[in-house]
Amino acid sequence: MALAPDVTSSTDPNPIEDDGTHIDAPGLQPFVFALFFIFGGITSLNDVVIPKLKELFTLNYTQAMLVQFCFFAAYFVMGLPMARLVKKVGYMRGAVIGLVTMMAGCLMFIPASQTATYAIFLFAYFVLASGVVMVQVVANPLISLLGPARTAHSRLTFGQAFNSLGTTVFPAVGAGLILGKLAEVSADELSGDALRAYRTAESAMIVNTYLGLAVAIGVVALVVWLFRNKLQGERHEESSIVGGLSLLKRPRFGYGALSIFLYVGAEVAIGSILINYLAEARVFGQPESVIGWMITLYWGGAMVGRFIGSALLRMFSPGKILATNATIAILLIAISALSTGAVAGYSLLAVGLMNSIMFPTIFALACEKLGSRAADGSGIINVAIVGGAVVPVVFGAVADLSGSLAFALILPAICYAIIAGFGIFARRPA
pLDDT digits (tens, 9 = 90+) for 355-374: 988 988 998 888 876 666 66
**In a domain? residue 10:** no
**In a domain? residue 23:** no
C-alpha span between 23 and 18 (Å, rounded): 12
C-alpha span between 120 and 123 (Å, rounded): 5
How large is the average pLDDT for residues 137-162? 72
User: What is the model's pLDDT at position 314?
Assistant: 80
**In a domain? residue 17:** no
CA-nearest of 227, 179, 4, 212 to 103 is 212
User: What is the model's pLDDT at position 372?
Assistant: 62
**In a domain? residue 20:** no
Q: Which of 149-158, 230-239, 351-360 has the lowest mean pLDDT?
A: 230-239
* Cβ-proximal residues to 192 (8 Å cutoff; 6+ apart), any chain: none
pLDDT digits (tens, 9 = 90+) for 261-318: 999 999 999 999 999 999 999 999 998 778 888 999 998 888 888 778 878 888 888 9
The yes-or-no verdict on residue 321 having pLDDT over 70 is yes
Q: 235-258 b/e with 16+ CB inside 10 Å = b?
A: ebeebeeeebeebeebebbebbbb
**In a domain? residue 430:** no
The yes-or-no verdict on residue 424 having pLDDT over 90 is yes
Number of domains, the chain: 1
C-alpha span between 251 and 113 (Å, rounded): 46
User: What is the model's pLDDT at position 193?
Assistant: 82
The yes-or-no verdict on residue 10 having pLDDT over 70 is no
Confidence of residue 11 (pLDDT cuts 50, 70, 90): very low
With H, G, I as helix, E, B as strand and everything else as coil, classify residue 108. Answer: coil
The yes-or-no verdict on residue 23 having pLDDT over 80 is no
C-alpha span between 60 and 293 (Å, rounded): 22
The yes-or-no verdict on residue 327 having pLDDT over 80 is yes
The yes-or-no verdict on residue 220 having pLDDT over 80 is yes
How large is the average pLDDT for residues 131-158? 75
Give the percent of the chain with pLDDT over 90: 41
C-alpha span between 164 and 169 (Å, rounded): 9
**In a domain? residue 347:** yes
Q: Estimate to the nearest angstrom the gap between the alpha carbon of 101 and the chain centroid.
A: 18
C-alpha span between 202 and 105 (Å, rounded): 19
Q: Which of 321-335, 349-363, 373-387 has the lowest mean pLDDT?
A: 373-387
**In a domain? residue 408:** yes
User: What is the model's pLDDT at position 119?
Assistant: 95
Q: Which of 14-28, 293-307, 345-359 has the lowest mean pLDDT?
A: 14-28
User: Where do runs of H (alpha helix) occur along 29-65?
Assistant: 29-56, 61-64
Which structural domain, as residue segments, surrounds residue 353? 29-425
CATH of residue 394's domain is 1.20.1250.20
Q: Letter for the amino acid at 343?
A: V
First to last CA, the chain: 31
